[in-house]
């Protein structure tokens, strides 16, 4: 298969970027998108040109580092799929494929398709944990957990923090990510004790970092590669409102 890639090239955070065409030829339909970029970079290196910078790690759909915008959609057009799980058979012969980084104030471009997503780390550091003593693993049935709560917590914990929700939202809101992290902790007994300070600290950190607010248009849910649901945002909003009221009373 043959393609024309229109790739965002930007030397560093301070320079001005632009789309640069790259011709790709004789690519197998079974080649993954990342492997295709590897082939392109091998050709660029042989020609003495600068390779395309992009993030990747596991290439198994679990690390979240590969998030980029392909033809205007985070991770591409296939539902429930990360870029590293996307294959060239999803495109047509001679397609023009536009590849660019996530666009968000809180995610500045480092180089080409690489963005600094350390803002997510700061949100997690603000409260995305439970303060308990560590020790040996308890027996599986030591803490009874209702199945519905366990299922909801597991679904929320599937979030890989890729930033697709930020890339997709017109307000660059990370609330699907944030609500998933809050849900998988607050739904379980171990995380219930700190739910008030957790939701207050993490939401306030999100606002401080320059992310936008949710306007409930649900595009984040559609583009999430792990299909995290927006009902987590509703739960988070209720928790934040209640925690704010209780804070004022105290």
Could you read off the pLDDT of 84-131 as tens digits, one per residue? 999 999 999 999 999 999 999 999 999 999 999 999 999 999 999 988
pTM for this predicted structure: 0.92
User: What's the average model confidence in pLDDT over 161-176?
Assistant: 96
Q: What is the pLDDT of residue 139?
A: 80
What is the overall mean pLDDT for the chain? 94
pLDDT at 145 over 70: yes
Q: What is the pLDDT of residue 134?
A: 66
Q: What is the pLDDT of residue 204?
A: 96
- Per-residue confidence at 8, pLDDT binned at 50, 70, 90? very high
Tokens representing residue 169 in the block: 């939202």
CB-neighbour burial class of residue 202 (10 A; exposed 0-12, middle 13-18, buried 19+): buried
CB 210 within 8 A of CB 122: no
Q: Could you give the CA distance from residue 239 to residue 151 in angstroms, rounded to a whole number?
A: 19
Tokens representing residue 128 in the block: 């995305």
Q: Could you give the CA distance from residue 11 to residue 50 in angstroms, rounded to a whole number?
A: 10
Q: What is the pLDDT of residue 17?
A: 95
Q: What is the pLDDT of residue 116?
A: 96
Q: Which domains does the chain have, with CATH numbers?
A: 3-110 (3.10.20.30), 117-249 (1.10.1060.10)
Q: Could you give the CA distance from residue 160 to residue 165 in angstroms, rounded to a whole number?
A: 11
Q: Could you give the CA distance from residue 199 to residue 76 in angstroms, rounded to a whole number?
A: 31
pLDDT at 181 over 80: yes
Lookup result for tokens 């198994």: 60
Q: Could you give the CA distance from residue 13 to residue 101 in angstroms, rounded to a whole number?
A: 12
* Model pLDDT for residues 41-93, shown as the tens digit of each residue: 999 999 999 999 999 999 999 999 999 999 999 999 999 999 999 999 999 99
**DSSP, res 80:** T
User: What's the average model confidence in pLDDT over 7-35?
Assistant: 95
């Amino acid at each position: 298969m043959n393609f024309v890639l229109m790739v965002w090239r930007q030397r560093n955070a301070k320079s001005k970027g632009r789309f640069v065409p790259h011709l790709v030829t004789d690519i197998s339909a079974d080649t993954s998108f990342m492997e295709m970029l590897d082939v392109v970079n091998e050709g660029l290196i042989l020609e003495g040109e600068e390779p395309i910078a992009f993030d990747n790690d596991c290439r198994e759909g679990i690390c979240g580092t590969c998030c980029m915008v392909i033809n205007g959609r985070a991770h591409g057009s296939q539902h429930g799929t990360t870029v590293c799980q996307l294959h060239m058979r999803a495109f047509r012969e001679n397609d023009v494929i536009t590849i660019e980084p996530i666009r968000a104030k809180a995610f500045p471009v480092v180089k080409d398709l690489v963005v600094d997503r350390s803002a997510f780390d700061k949100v997690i550091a603000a409260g995305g944990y439970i303060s308990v003593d560590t020790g040996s693993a308890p027996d599986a049935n030591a803490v009874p957990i209702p199945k519905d709560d366990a299922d909801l917590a597991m679904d929320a914990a599937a979030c890989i923090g890729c930033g697709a929700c930020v890339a997709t939202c017109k307000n660059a809101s990370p609330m699907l990510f944030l609500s998933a992290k809050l849900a998988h902790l607050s739904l379980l007994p171990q995380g219930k004790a700190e739910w008030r300070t957790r939701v207050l600290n993490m939401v306030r950190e999100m606002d401080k970092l320059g992310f936008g607010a949710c306007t409930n248009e649900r595009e984040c849910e559609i583009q999430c590669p792990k299909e995290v649901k927006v009902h987590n945002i509703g739960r988070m909003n209720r928790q934040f409102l209640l925690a704010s009221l209780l804070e004022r009373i105290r």
